[in-house]
Amino acid sequence: MQMWMEMGLRAAFRRLATQWLTGSWCFFIFQAKLVGHYILNEIRYGGAAYVSTGRGLPTQRRPFIGVLDKTTGKLAQVGGLYLDYAALTYYDAIKLLLSTILVLWIEPMAGGVAWTFVAVTIISWLYAPFLFNPYQFSKLYFPQDLLSWWTFFFRESSSHWMRWYDHTQLRPKRGFRHAVWDIKFLLGFFILAV
């Protein structure tokens, strides 16, 4: 609206089209999900601290799962986009996708605009890290990523995946007291929303 008032309707539409074509909507939806996740965890558990991302320049490519040792075929370095964001966005995106399919299968209740926003959210949560990773879909790197994915999940009796899952997903919880506070927080949020 401000752009339209200051520079005219043509400039406003050009700006809107540029933002949609460059995928900025995808980045900001994904960023909002991550910020929301960390703020909610901070409210629940406390312990705020600066955590370095370890990310280099934005022109450096990040692998999907890890880096393979070319001589042995084993994972030399575990860590990549999937492992960084699986628990934060991918699992929630799959849950939202399956819930949406179930609702649409049973009985669609909302108009097309609402489903469009849900679809945009699902796409953003699933694909944003890959869209903004340089050379993610390059012919040179795709076979390496596929092989590292296969190694991570299926070779060596899935030991890489089990070690990652134990370390990140099955973290020691903080006891029953914190679970009760989570429930109280959720109920309080719904009461305030109503």
Spatial CA neighbour of 91 closest among 122, 69, 134, 113: 122
- Is 20 buried (19+), middle (13-18) or exposed (0-12) by CB count in 10 A? exposed
77: tokens are 């370095």
- DSSP β-bridge partners for residue 77: 67
| SS3 annotation, 133-163 | CCCCCCCCCHHHHHHHHHHHHHCHHHHHHHH
Q: What is the 3-state secondary structure (H, E, C) of 60-98?
A: CCCCCCEEECCCCCCEEEECCHHHHHHHHHHHHHHHHHH
CA-angle at 90, arms to 52 and 156, nearest 5°? 85
Q: Of 22, 29, 32, which Cα lies nearest the Cα of 121?
A: 29
Structure tokens at 25: 């909507």
pTM over 0.85: no
pLDDT in tens, the chain (194 residues): 666 677 778 888 888 788 788 888 888 888 888 888 888 777 776 666 666 655 555 667 788 888 888 778 777 778 888 888 887 888 889 998 998 888 888 877 767 778 888 889 999 988 888 887 777 778 888 888 888 888 888 888 888 888 888 877 666 555 555 556 666 767 776 777 66
